[in-house]
Copies of this chain bind each other. A is one copy, B any other.
């Protein structure tokens, strides 16, 4: 029977700006007697990528623009955080203003990479007080770099998915989604395959990288320090493609 195994990689230390994640992960893999194969996939929380890449910003270093001040007042947020949200975004998609108690506000934007999410993916939890953590500038490149570093050190290039936690319209609760990949196809195109009755399947395009990201959430607790989930045993074919495959063309989107 088709089987797959997921493991939360232990012994990952607190990541600092400038750390080489390839070194750290290779060491942890060895310490835990893991053997990479070409079908191994590592799903990695954005947070440690951003930390290693120095994407932390000190609030006191940020000067809010007039536009940020205005939006901050409506949403009862720190104007400096709103400034960074605007800088990281191509467009504001939706805003809900704060209630009378200054709560419940939401700013949803489209980031430069095309992701639609709250606060341009900027994070404050699990961070030193007074700091913001931005998404990686190019998470595909981050994933590719990591895959290459692991190949150099261990002789095998695994698939890599970088993930962040987004909310969804219509559904409560959060799931992880893919924001960068190396080797792992964002979408697996099953068009042309036949169903169990021999008819051609018309539109069946599993978002493979998002399935992996969501699955990683089963072991990647927010409060734990398990930012790396290893998938073994999956049947997949490497294909280098950009994460833009998962970003819906705005002209085709009914909810833009």
Q: Is the CB of B1 within 8 A of A32?
A: yes
What number of copies of this chain does the assembly contain? 2
For A175, A176, A208, the residue with the greatest tally of chain B CB atoms inside 10 Å of its CB is: A175
Residue A16 CB within 8 A of the other chain: no
Q: Give the residues in chain B near A193, CB-CB below 8 Å.
A: 222-223
Option from B7, B170, B171, B187 in Cβ contact (under 8 Å) with A3:
B7
Q: Is the CB of A173 within 8 A of B246?
A: yes
A interface with B by C-beta (< 8 Å): 1-10, 14, 32, 94, 96, 106, 108, 115-116, 125-128, 168-177, 186-187, 190, 193-197, 199, 201-202, 204-208, 210-212, 214-215, 217-219, 221-223, 225-226, 231, 234, 245-248, 253-256
| Contact A197 to B126, CB < 8 A, known contacts A187-B173, A205-B172, A207-B171 | yes
Would you mind naming 23 contact pairs between A and B with Cβ atoms under 8 Å apart?
A: A2-B8, A2-B219, A3-B219, A4-B6, A4-B218, A94-B254, A96-B254, A106-B254, A108-B254, A116-B169, A127-B197, A169-B169, A171-B177, A172-B248, A174-B207, A190-B221, A201-B223, A204-B222, A211-B218, A212-B218, A215-B218, A218-B231, A219-B234
